[in-house]
Amino acid sequence: MMKRFLGILCCVIAFSSCDDGDLIVETINFDQVTTSSCSANNLLFKMKESEILILNIPKNSFDENATPPDNPKELVINTTNQVVYNFYDGKVATNNVCDLIPPSSPNVETQWKASDGIIEITTVAVKTTVDENNNSTKITGYKNTIVFKNITFTKENGTEQFYKTFSFGDYLQSITPLKLDFKQVLSACPETDDVTRYVYKTSDSDESISLNIDKKLLKNEDTPEGKPRIGNIGIDINKLVYRFYGGFVDNTYFCKDEDPAEPEIKEEWLGAGGTVEVTTVTVGNDFKHTIVLKNVNLEKGNNSFSLGKIYQLGSLTVVP
């Protein structure tokens, strides 16, 4: 990627035929311009008329994880993290940046290269509401706000331009939201201790959700109407885990001493806040436990989203 980026710069410079003295750029401003990206490489850019501002940083600089409040990610401007401004002798288009071999015109009249400074990236999750009445949400992308701090541009004539704060703008990443589409019934592993019972369900595809539920909530007695047994989501007892896998997962994956190596766990989100509520009724000689999660979030790193006021985990029938 670095070779390709340098190649783009070399090509546009090679095609340039204008004297730098024909135009003097005193300052640059792209505040009202939307950030764009190249589909074939990692370049981000802002473009207007005859100007382009290019940001070239590694793809993993945007890692789909919100940054802590008031603690942005910082990248030092160097040969890996580059900022370049080009002024052309005509109207520019996307292929002036994104093509491996840029068009022969327009030509670069003026070029500034950042030689010092910090690139700050503040990332927040973009959430949409799944069900307004239930207050459930999902993450559909990430907004990365990019600011250059104490950045120095070196011009072709050897002079420098300094900005204490220079706003590059927002870069929006779209992602495929987690489905949470669980088609299978709630299952339980054989009892292994006196404190908890491991229950789980899969999507019949590449997702699972599990709860290490407090056995006190699964008491084989009918609960009074409107009075379910209640426990708090925790880090051990009543631990809730959502997983997204790199392949198909079914019931044969579960109830082992250790998680199988395949399929690979791509994402793991943990329940936070909220409660587990269990309503028990007698069905013949058996007991049916209906498990509901209330006001529970799923969290991973600095990200979180809401399962809603009420989330039906499922029902478990127990033979006494």
DSSP string, 116-176: EEEEEEEEEEEEEEEETTTTEEEEEEEEEEEEEEEEEEEETTS-EEEEEEEEEEEEEEE-P
The pLDDT value given to residue 1:
47
CA-wise closest residue to 54 among 16, 98, 109: 98
pLDDT > 70: percent of the chain = 92
Residue 67 has pLDDT above 80, yes or no: yes
DSSP 8-state class, residue 238: B
**Using CA atoms, how far apart are residues 268 and 50, in angstroms rounded to an integer?**
46
The pLDDT value given to residue 101:
81
The pLDDT value given to residue 263:
97
**Using CA atoms, how far apart are residues 188 and 198, in angstroms rounded to an integer?**
6
The predicted-structure confidence for 204-255, as pLDDT tens digits, reads as follows 899 999 999 999 999 999 999 999 999 999 999 999 999 999 999 999 999 9
- Asked if 77 and 119 touch (Cβ cutoff 8 Å), the reply is yes
**Using CA atoms, how far apart are residues 306 and 104, in angstroms rounded to an integer?**
52
CA-wise closest residue to 299 among 195, 178, 173: 178
169: which 2 tokens? 């703008």
- Asked if 88 and 110 touch (Cβ cutoff 8 Å), the reply is no
Give 261's pLDDT tier (boundaries 50, 70, 90).
very high
Q: For the chain, what is the total number of helices (H) and then of strands (E)?
A: 2, 19
Residue 24 has pLDDT above 80, yes or no: no
